[in-house]
Amino acid sequence: MLQIMNIGITDVAVIGGGLAAMYAALEASNYDKSVVIISKKPVGRSGASVISKSVHRFPPDHLKEKLSYKNKIIEAGRYINNRDLVDTFVEHASQKMDNIEKLKVGLNFKEKLIDGKNHKYFAACKPKMGKHLTIPLSNIIKTKDNINIMEGYMAVQIVIERDTVCGILIENKNRLYFLGAKAVVIATGGGGYNYIQTSNTNDLTGDGYAMALRAGLPLIDMEFIQFYPYRTVYPFQHDIFPDIFSHGAKYLNEKGERFMDKYPKKELENRDILSREMFFQKEIYLNIEDCDKDFMKEECDDLYDNYLKYKGEQIKVSPVAHFMMGGVKINADTSTDVRGLFCCGEVAGGLHGANRLAGHALTETVVFGHIAGEESAHYAGSKTKISVNFVKEETANWVPNIGEESPTNIKNILRRNMWESAGIVRNEDDLQRAKDKVEELEQQIKNLKPLKLRDWIECQNMIQTSKMIIDSCILRKESRGAHYRSDFPEEDINWQRNIIIN
């Protein structure tokens, strides 16, 4: 059994290195609290944020517009969104985006005229690359004397005593450490790397979901995975800015047919519909011959450069696992059922319901990252001391001894299994096969003695996350939003509710 070394105490510990984690850490630091960020990869270069298109869509600060926006979110979520989270998002988004603008981190804002006054509604970097936002933000964080960064460290387990958080178990180079914390914010992002075809980076292994489960927290809406229908796979890999379909771009199948012609919004239909239609085609190609080239050069110059580089070649596209609508069940103030434990960003569930509107993922990090930072700081301020002496080696008795083996093959089998049997189109037989295979892999990982402990923990987290996804998919015997079952192809009013698993 591995020994655990105590490494100190902080007011607020933030787990993650992407936008939600950085916003939470920055906000908590503004209340003169000591903050520690624990991130597997370099802060500002972690998770989905850094490879995003940097696009933020949000409701203008106008009453009528907010009401309309709220209805669009709920309609996209097929009426099972957490209304408190939706209200919070809509009410605070514009103000929080104003706060981000003041940081001068490279976002360019667009406005539209409403009732004689200009209102912001959109923001992105130029060019539209997430790193042009995440890296400047990380540079600001590094100037804060009360924020310490632990890069290359992985949070393994939330340590709890009497339903109250008291710290985090952390791994680095096959060693375990305990960091005492008055408050903890989980901002680890999603788990898209569970699928072999994904836009996610390889650090998004469902760590936050698995830690939450080990802490006894419920997960909500885990069956809803958004498969992103806007990604080229050959001759170059690149996300596609969806707005180009309003300027002449289109998808064609192997027969040269525009298969989305039967839908009013064409390629701008809800992502679940578009991904499903793409799934049923043999091949899909992006045709941008008739696209407004001035618009492309202005709004997606990197895609335009690739278009020129590979001119004459067909640009093949495919849907990929992109975003998890489900996650840890939270309250509107980002608190959870464990006192002192908060969650924000993609790891939290409930805001989006059965599907997410385009451009809301990064705005979600702004709104709820700030709230998590503020609330965790206030909570930490109410605590005079925490328990740190009780942490024993038994706390991590589920962690294996070090050996010579690698779980890489188990990871790869798991990822293929999830794509083939719990992907875009699902049915009872495939889901049951997926469940059986995951249970088989779970037994294999239990008996494995890894050369690198982190690889084993990530694999364990992927298995736990996959089990929750599959169980939720099996339970929901209908099709709704991003969850499509060929054996239950219709939406059922009796299933206008959430599945909660713990």
Catalytic residues: 271
Contact of 109 with 55, CB cutoff 8 Å: no
Which are the contacts of 332, defined by CB distance < 8 A and separation ≥ 6? 84, 85, 87, 88
| Two tokens, residue 302 | 């990197």
The CB-side HSE value for 83 (13 A sphere, CA atoms) comes to 4
Separation of CA 460 from chain center? 19
Which two structure tokens, joined as six digits, stand for 366? 């702004």
Q: Report the residue count for the chain.
A: 502
Instruction: Determine the Cα angle at 6 with ends 375 and 31, to 5°.
Output: 25
User: Bridge-partner residues for 114, per DSSP?
Assistant: 117
Cα gap 196→466, rounded to integer Å = 13
CB 79 within 8 A of CB 496: yes
CA triple 234-239-245, angle to 5 deg: 100
In whole angstroms, give the CA distance from residue 154 to residue 131.
22
* CB-based contacts of 147, cutoff 8 Å, min separation 6: 25, 26, 29, 35, 36, 37, 141
Q: Rounded CA gap, 375 and 254, in Å?
A: 52
b/e per residue 455-494 (b: at least 16 CB within 10 A): bbbbbbbbbbbbbbbbbbbbebebbbbbbbbeebeeeeee
Q: What is the DSSP string of 202-264?
A: TT-SSHHHHHHHHTT--EE-TT-EEEE--EEEESS-EE--GGGGGTT-EEEETTS--TTTTST
**DSSP tag of 332:** T
Return the structure tokens found at 278. 């793409």
